[in-house]
Amino acid sequence: MTASNAAGAGAVEKLVVIGSGPAGWTACIYGARANLAPRAIIGVPASNPAPVLPGGQLMLTTEVENYPGFPHGVSGPEMMDLFRKQAERFGTRITDADVVRCDFTQKPFVLETSEGETVRAHAVVIATGATANWIGLPNEIRLAMNGGGVSACAVCDGALPVYRDQPLAVVGGGDTAMEEASYLTKFASKVYVIHRRDSFRASKAMQARILENPKAQPVWNSVVVDVLGKDFIEGVLLENVVTKERTTLPVRGLFIAIGHSPATRFLQGTGLEFDEKGYIALRTRSSRTNIDGVFAAGDVADSTYRQAITASGMGCQAAIDAERWLAEHGVH
């Protein structure tokens, strides 16, 4: 099969990248430099952090201090804008739309967008990421969107100066919540772990990290019913699920650790394989999926690390794997 060099109507794209976080933009940069003329379908802006955001979860991160090359830190949106500009510089074409349906039974593959366009592609990289599960409170969403001290990633944000020597809260009771809370105890004056039950569901070893840490304090049988503060969080309103009593807990940071959901709903029924957590299953040390010519990168296929730098690395892998696959199949 031979790809058209034109991008006109009816042309078959060599490479389509779905998504626009670190994984997606890195795949575009590597794909463009390999003369694959990638087309990026990046999603559409959302009004809250629950849907997939163009630019990924970094669009909700006010300061990134752990990505190499930015010694003084960089805001998440600024970093993604730089990634985008670099991808565009090498010829990536960008479509502001969601992919709503994929047909991987045909070759070339067929993708349908929310704008009613049908896109055909020889190779596809899926880099749609994963979204944090939020409580869903209006003030929680508002402060998360505005950098007001609500976050879904302690490893990403917990070391920022604004949280140091401050009382912080983590919501959750699983292994992730224990990891987040344990990490925060390195910087906070106190870490409250708010859980709706009277015991954690994390592994015993992970529970011990919190229960034996003098800087951590469980808050049992409680749920957050409101996040307090105008421009920056000043506390959380708690409700005891047993007594229904409401109390205010003063904190200067709230970290939501109730899981993530990979952005794969549009891929259901396509024949793609997923792991037990719902993330795209990859071949060992590869970005290849079970469908020949379909690759995945970043948080949509990574339930473990979920960091910008690991997502970028996976985007690099996917572009190189796709380039080699296309060459093997005569697409130049």
Domains of the chain: which residue ranges? 12-131+260-328, 134-256
For CA atoms 305, 19, 130, 159, the dihedral sign is positive
Q: Is 98 one of the catalytic residues?
A: no
Burial class (CB in 10 A: 0-12, 13-18, 19+), 261: middle
pLDDT in the model for residue 10: 66
Give, in words, the CATH class of 12-131+260-328: alpha beta
- The answer to whether domain 12-131+260-328 and domain 134-256 are alike in fold is yes
Q: Is 156 one of the catalytic residues?
A: yes
pLDDT in the model for residue 292: 97
Long-range contacts of 301-310 (CB under 8 A, 24+ apart): 301/126, 301/262, 303/130, 303/260, 303/262, 303/275, 303/277, 303/279, 306/130, 306/153, 306/260, 307/66, 307/155, 307/156, 308/21, 308/22, 308/58, 308/64, 308/67, 308/79, 309/22, 309/66, 309/67, 309/68
DSSP one-letter code for 189: S
Q: Could you say which of 98, 156, 299, 316 is catalytic?
A: 156
pLDDT in the model for residue 57: 80
Q: Could you say which of 28, 98, 102, 153 is catalytic?
A: 153
Query: Which parts of the chain sit beneath pLDDT 50?
Result: 1-9, 47-51
Burial class (CB in 10 A: 0-12, 13-18, 19+), 32: buried
pLDDT in the model for residue 146: 86
| pTM score of the predicted model | 0.81
CA–CA dist 293, 305 (Å, integer)? 25
Q: Could you say which of 157, 299, 302, 321 is catalytic?
A: 157
Right CATH for 134-256 from 2.40.160.10, 3.50.50.60, 3.90.1150.10, 3.30.420.110: 3.50.50.60
DSSP one-letter code for 115: T
pLDDT in the model for residue 56: 81
pLDDT in the model for residue 49: 46
pLDDT in the model for residue 148: 95
- Cβ within 8 Å of residue 138, ≥6 positions away: none
Q: Is 157 one of the catalytic residues?
A: yes
pLDDT in the model for residue 156: 86
